[in-house]
Amino acid sequence: MWLEVKLETEALHADALADALLACGAISASVEDAHAGTDLETPQFGEPDGTANTPPTPLWDRSRVIALFEPAEDLRVRIAKVAGLSNPSSILLTEVAEQDWVRLTQSQFDPICINEQLWIVPSWHVAPNAKAINLVLDPGLAFGTGSHPTTFLCLDWLTQIDCRNKSVLDYGCGSGILAIAAARLGAATVLGVDIDQNALIAAKDNATNNSVNLPLRHSVQPLTETFDIVVANILTNPLCVLAPLLVQRVAAGGCITLSGVLETQAEQVIAAYAPYLSLKIGATRDGWVRLEGTKC
């Protein structure tokens, strides 16, 4: 049995409180919006502006710090001390039963059917369709497991076009899922590029798990090659900024697809790419769009 405590604080102090609880014996501590699950919850749709030395700002005004402890007689006193509370008896501790946390977490992730040709299968599952292309991918630090509509849209597109013997660039590769899918669909060469070093590590591991040779490159490194197929599943603002770079990387007669774009933002991205090539909406899913274009 474990004991759970939930404490509310100003968002700016939440991380410090979580660290203090860990220092006084908590086996885990997490931070969430104090209004999570209510009408007052703060939606998170922001994007980084890329400004150097910008101080971090809290995601919401008040936070809830949740910590898990082993039972102990002085537990309330310890918590009150680090939390600056004068009355230890006011601290509410809730019993949390022992569980197989690994199995519980894994049970939340089932195989994902993109279409009859392609499945995303966590490593602890048996592939539902042995005749399909089954990508082995576990949830991790990098974005891209196939469950998000934008990833789904890009994967579905890759199965619709002919990747065989083509060169493919996955810009903003995240977990590497799109690059790995392209390789499994017959692409001759595939390159994954990302700004996040952790994403590149995750992509490398996922490529190994799928027996795919996937060269990877950090976005600060030069990118001069052209590709038959360019896919970028990022966000609207970065996609607009990257328009000249991405279009330059498309070979003559090659194609590009963009996702990470809300339906309400589609015209903004289409306009950003209009000086270079024409984009059209290829598909939509749950409010997100996939934009497609061909370079003449």
What is the pLDDT averaged over residues 221-241? 96
Residues 29 and 148 in one domain: no
Q: Render pLDDT for 121-145 as a digit per residue (tens, 0 to 9).
A: 988 888 999 999 999 987 665 567 7
Q: What is the pLDDT of residue 36?
A: 77
The average pLDDT across 151-160 equals 96
Whether the predicted pLDDT of 276 surpasses 80: yes
- How does 57-80 read in b/e, with b if 16+ C-beta sit within 10 Å? ebebebbbbbbbbeeeeebbebbb
Between 12-16, 45-49, 71-75, the lowest mean confidence (pLDDT) is in 45-49
pLDDT band at 107 (very low <50, low <70, confident <90, very high): low
Do 150 and 286 lie in a common domain?
yes
Pull the structure tokens for residue 166.
């083509």
What's 80's domain CATH number? 3.30.70
What global pTM score does this model have?
A: 0.67
Percent above pLDDT 70 for the chain: 88
Q: Check whether residue 181 and residue 59 sit in a common domain.
A: no
Same domain, 155 and 83: no
Q: Does 115 fall in a domain?
A: no
CA–chain centroid gap for 34, Å, is 23
Residues 144 and 62 grouped into a single domain: no
Residue 262, domain member (yes or no): yes
Structure confidence by residue, pLDDT tens digits, 24-69: 999 999 999 988 777 776 665 444 444 444 445 556 889 999 999 9
Beta strand 227-233 pairing with 250-262: parallel
Kindly state whether residue 66 falls inside one of the protein's structural domains: yes
- Residue 89 belongs to a domain: yes
Residue 119 placed within a domain = no
Average of per-residue pLDDT values in the chain:
89
Per-residue model confidence (pLDDT) at position 137:
87
Q: Provide the domain limits for residue 193.
A: 140-294
When computed from its CA atoms, the radius of gyration of the chain, rounded to whole angstroms, is 23
Residues 46 and 145 occupy one common structural domain: no
Least confident of 17-21, 47-51, 131-135, 260-264: 47-51
Last residue of a domain, one of 66, 98, 130: 98
Three-state secondary structure string covering the chain: CEEEEEEEEEHHHHHHHHHHHHHCCCCEEEEEECCCCCCCCCCCCCCCCCCCCCCCCCCCCEEEEEEEECCCCCHHHHHHHHHCCCCHHHCCEEEECCCCHHHHHHCCCCCEEEECCEEEECCCCCCCCCCCEEEECCCCCCCCCCCCHHHHHHHHHHHHCCCCCCEEEEECCCCCHHHHHHHHCCCCEEEEEECCHHHHHHHHHHHHHCCCCCCEEECCCCCCCCEEEEEEECCHHHHHHCHHHHHHCEEEEEEEEEEEEEHHHHHHHHHHHCCCCCEEEEEEECCEEEEEEECC
Residues 146, 25 share a domain: no
pLDDT of residue 104: 53
Domain end marker among 37, 65, 98? 98
What's the domain count of the chain? 2
The C-alpha angle with vertex 295 and arms to 292 and 296, in degrees rounded to 5, equals 135
* 162 and 256 fall within a common domain: yes
**Bigger pLDDT: 76 vs 60:** 76
Lowest mean pLDDT of 29-43, 225-239, 263-277, name the range.
29-43
- Predicted confidence at residue 219, as pLDDT, reads 96
Report the range out of 52-56, 124-128, 165-169, 197-201 with the highest average pLDDT: 165-169
**Integer Cα distance of 230 and 191 in angstroms:** 10
pLDDT number for residue 57: 52
pLDDT for position 51:
45
pLDDT of amino acid 49:
42
pLDDT of 278 > 80? The answer is: yes
Residue 125 falls inside a structural domain: no
Same-domain pairing of 153 and 93: no
Q: Is residue 130 part of a domain?
A: no
What CATH number corresponds to the domain at position 149?
3.40.50.150
For residue 206, is it within any domain?
yes
Q: What value does the mean pLDDT take over residues 207-219?
A: 96
Q: Which residue has the higher pLDDT, 226 or 148?
A: 226
167 and 256 belong to one structural domain: yes
**pLDDT at 190 > cutoff 50:** yes
